[in-house]
Amino acid sequence: MSSDASFPDRFLWGAATAAYQIEGAAAEDGKGPSIWDTFSHTPGKVHHGDTGDVACDSYHRYPEDIELLKRLGVGAYRFSVSWPRIRPEGRGEVNSKGLDYYSRLVDALLEAGIAPVPTLYHWDLPQALQDAFGGWAGRDIAEAFASYAGVVAEALGDRVHRWITLNEPWVVSNVGYRWGRHAPGHSEAGEAVAANHHLLLAHGLSVQAIRAASPAPAEVGITLNLGVSRPTSPEAADMAAELEARHNGVYLGPLFSGEYPSRLSAEWSPALVPGLVHDGDMAVIAESIDFLGVNFYFPGYVGVAAADGELRAGERPLEGGFVDVRPAGLPVTAMDWLVEPTSLHELLTRVVAPAVGDLPVYITENGSSWYDYVNQDGEVVDLERQSYLRGHLGAVASAIADGVNVRGYFAWSLLDNFEWAEGYAKRFGLTFIDFATQRRILKRSGEYYAQVTRKNALPE
Ligand code: GBH
């Protein structure tokens, strides 16, 4: 991979956040409770008992956050819209104060010359719909989501021209419904498979709803967290392929070819839930989209477990006699995630391009967590994050050089924020937040990113 990479003209530089992770104001201006309000207030679910009640207080401090975006020199901001702010009960009455908040945010962004790129679902489902339908496990959720998407598109579509329907359906269905580490905290494979199908259906219906409701032409896409699984020996190749089918094929197949992949083990196959897929669903899911959003953080390595079943150094248990392996020599972040930029190049060239062809691709999240601190000079010198950023941007540039149609990159994240089950203990921001005072400090990595966006190239 070349090191002095530059990017195509009009490459879109951005930064990303999500509503529950930054907004706070959890019960303000008519907002209804979301499943993350419930989950984070349930003892034992989130590290340290942290909640998003206040978070970065971005609901009130968004003008300061837009100043940070200006310092970064980005042309776009990916934020998410909180469904329970718009519809406190999930359905029915629209809360105009909720819409007003996003309308003010959009106006302020446009004033600053920054394109708003809202995501309509970044995990904060109205609690009322969890109660009414079993959340994403119930089929009625798909229509409810499309209806809400139409409400937002109608209100903001004169000024918002690029929409993301869902963030990371893999995480929603599996971390939320299969393993229970995210809201709603369920552990039931059938629910996970059902949730996954209903997320895809909701996506397709919302693409139609956004286009129908928007007063101006709209580009619509979805954000997936796709993965590469590398076998460490030939015996692990089949398991690696299965893991990629669960992460990638289960989305890329339905979205781009109108069918689920044929290889998916029983616990992951839509056949697990009889009657789940109705006639016509796959055509709705395959509704054409204008771009694909890709979130990427780390690669996976799969190996065969030791004969005695004992874990060797760096291994974590997987299923069926396989283990997740961390090869010696690769750095790991504060999340214990591997750092290996070439895996992003591999993902884009081997997985993404063959599925999407020429469709524009945006990296909608990429970033890393480290043990940041404010030094005696009042600075945060996060050289590890800067190095991660540089490496991954180099991988994006080389994928573009290899013909992948990547049109933009959004750093995760603009701000340190509520890192879901990790609470505030894990920091991903280009900006440090002192959560006691809400003071924002642009980190060294943020200064570096500002140079990248201004040069449209990687500085030495
Ligand atoms: C993204 O998810 C999210 O979109 C974003 O909100 C988040 O802040 C960011 O990444 C950083 O994490 O081992 O089963 O408990 C990335 C995907 C989500 C990866 C949850 C691993 C823990 C899964 N990830 N996660 S589990």
- Tens-digit pLDDT profile for residues 371-427: 999 999 999 999 999 999 999 999 999 999 999 999 999 999 999 999 999 999 999
For residue 282, pLDDT beyond 90: yes
361-365/406-412 β-pairing:
parallel
Which of 184, 153, 165 has its CA nearest to residue 224? 165
Q: Do residues 359 and 420 touch, judged by C-beta distance below 8 A?
A: no
Residues classed as catalytic: 168, 365
**CA of residue 175 to ligand 1 center, whole Å:** 9
Q: Do residues 433 and 416 touch, judged by C-beta distance below 8 A?
A: yes
Give the pLDDT confidence of 222-231 residue by residue, as tens digits: 999 999 999 9
For residue 1, pLDDT beyond 70: no
Mean pLDDT of the chain: 98
What is the predicted pLDDT for the residue at 460?
75
Q: What is the mean pLDDT of residues 188-213?
A: 99
**CA of residue 377 to ligand 1 center, whole Å:** 32
- Ligand 1, pocket-test mutation among 182, 344, 420, most atoms within 8 A of CB: 420
- Ligand 1, pocket-test mutation among 167, 297, 427, most atoms within 8 A of CB: 297
Atom of ligand 1 nearest to the CA of 367: 11
Please give the torsion angle defined by the CA atoms of residues 207, 212, 215 and 217, in that order, rounded to the nearest 10 degrees.
50
For residue 3, pLDDT beyond 90: no
> Which tokens go with 175?
């971390």
Pocket of ligand 1 from Cβ distances under 6 Å = 18, 21, 167-168, 171, 175, 179, 181, 225, 295, 297, 365, 412, 419, 428
Q: What is the mean pLDDT of residues 251-279?
A: 98
Percent over 90 (pLDDT), the chain: 98
What is the predicted pLDDT for the residue at 4?
55
- Beta-carbon contacts of residue 65 (< 8 Å; ≥ 6 apart): 22, 56, 58, 414, 415, 440
